[in-house]
Structure 1
Amino acid sequence: MAAKKPGWAALLGTETSAGADTTAAEGGQEEPPVIVLMHTIVGNPENPRDESDYSDADPEFAELKSSMKEIGQLQPLAVVSRGVYERTKPGHGKALRDAEWVVVTGNRRLAAARQLGWTRIDVKVQDRLGDGDGSMIDEAVIIENIHRKNIAPIREAEFLQRMVERLGSQDKAAARIGKSQMYVSHRLALLQLAPDVQHDVDTGAVKLKDVRTITRKPHEEQRAAVAELKKKAAVPKAPRKAAAKPVQNPVLKPAPAPVVVPVSQGVQNPVLNEPKVTESEPAPQAQPDSAEVPEQRAEGVVVRLPSQDPDTLSGLIIAELDVPTRRRLTELLVDYKIEETKRMRAAEAAASGQK
């Protein structure tokens, strides 16, 4: 019976200790977590992440390093022995230097430990990942990077392409990494892009969703489409116009244009002392909208109200004043009307007595 292929948890070095003990008993190739000296371990030469990822400029890495500094290492690194790695991944002898162990998953934790000045680190030896052609090492690397932090899309597509070729179908590869078949298909389609377009995708110059529709086109058409995308992205968006504030009490009847008089002329009561407009100088008629939008006036001038047109004047007052002020004005006008009536009756009585 063929040996059971370890699951995703095993690939990432997160299997329970009970599971690890069973595997070790059956295969004799896996050991419980151990502590190794930092100078005896090296990162995976085929790690798809660049060294630039391992700096405090990356917020996720900075957070990881801070956590390891405060709490310590919560999860051991998954490693294989140097011999197993060289057998399955020949040609990396120079990159391995004098290391005894090669990290399969946990390169970020290793980088954080080095930057923190650690001299020892916990590891879990998983030499069984090197069984056969060593494809399990690739799977462990790609699964960790897909699920824990984004990697360059084209590099991910290259890993998935090798996985599909090895497993025989996109469905099997998708199940292996815990993603949908459509996810795998979209990534593989990126390999049909022109090299310079692939570079634009990796650097983020264009978005993945924008290039999915051009992967089957000739390279020249791809380049033209990407150039158009970049051109549109470079055009600044026009600022949104602020909506005009609605008028709460618009004047329904168009009003004649107010007469603007400088304050220097000493107008004491612009409402009561309204000068008559002569026929030779007719007042220009206001447009319907002029009563709805307050006119912007310079400082030092007074706008005279149309006192000769009671209907228009009342409309302006209603539109301008709030409810409490309108009520108070009404009370004053009523009082004025009462007093005016009394004076008129007194005058009439006096005139009758003289007769």
Structure 2
Amino acid sequence: MPITMADVAARAGVSKTTVSRVLNGKGELDPATAERVRRVIDELGYVPSAGAVSLARGRTKVLGMLVPSLTWPWMGEVIQGVIDAVEEKGYGLLLFSCSRGEDSIRRFASQASAKSFDGLLLIEPEGTLEFIAGLYRGGLPVMLIDDRAKQPEDFPSVSTTNREGAQAAARHLLRLGRNRPIVVSGPENLGCTQERLAGFAEVYAEAGRPLEPWCVVDGDFTFDGGRQEVARLLKAGRMLRAGLSFDAVFAHNDLSAAGAIQALRDAGLCVPKDVAVVGFDDVPQASNTDPPLTTVHQPLREMGETAARTLMGHFEGHPLPESPVVLPTTLVVRGSTAGPDGIKAQQ
């Protein structure tokens, strides 16, 4: 038979409420009594359930996390940051994805209704905003982890600097003498796509080299999208007498940047000698492309960790932030960018 809280209480000569207070670290307790209860817990090998631990606290000490899909290239880094934080604090994590559409949302809704978790970490899945907003208005603490440059429904959020990261990429390419870039963008309805395009275009416009409409193509954040769009431009024969019509690619994520490198290699071109390539995200695979990819590092793990710590801090009496917590991007220079003489630029 499993050891119960009642067994601990009987052996220690106290009430179950006192045992619960010791487990939760709440309430005024005589130090000797608390020590006796802890000793009995150790002697009996009692392992408290989540319900027992939360009895005095009125909480589950579990966070929920809702994400669109676990297949997104950077999702693992964000989740690992969350896990690092919750394990350190002794919390649990319930992870929900929307990979099965409405079925997934129904399962998530049933868990939310049952109050299976104290607060929600959110990477907003398409079509869920109204439902999540209703939970938030109903009192569920929500912390948005956002790389899309938008904070819907004024949720507390952790975000990053998409525009500034793209500006850093543009300045890097200009320093290398790369004056004719193309942009392999993401879906145009996403805020991060708009911010990355705007930041990159601003720097080139200020340098007197505004982007032409044909220079921006949609790679859909996928390897095949990046490969196909760059191959299409090459096949279309956009060539000048002086050589290629573009000498650099700025891709809005690392996956489409890897696709662009493949298209260039398939066409017999050398990266970076003929065309320099810059990505965005700095997922773990970025350093393993051939050549290794220069990219804008998003602090993905730090975003997950910061969001989790902020949400758990809320349950310790710290208010959730009224404005986004912004973690900066940084440019990571690797072998996919170099000047015409083959010398890699300094960061």
Pick 1 or 2: higher relative contact order, CA cutoff 8 A, min separation 6.
2
Greater fraction of residues in strand: 2
> Whose radius of gyration is greater, 1 or 2?
1
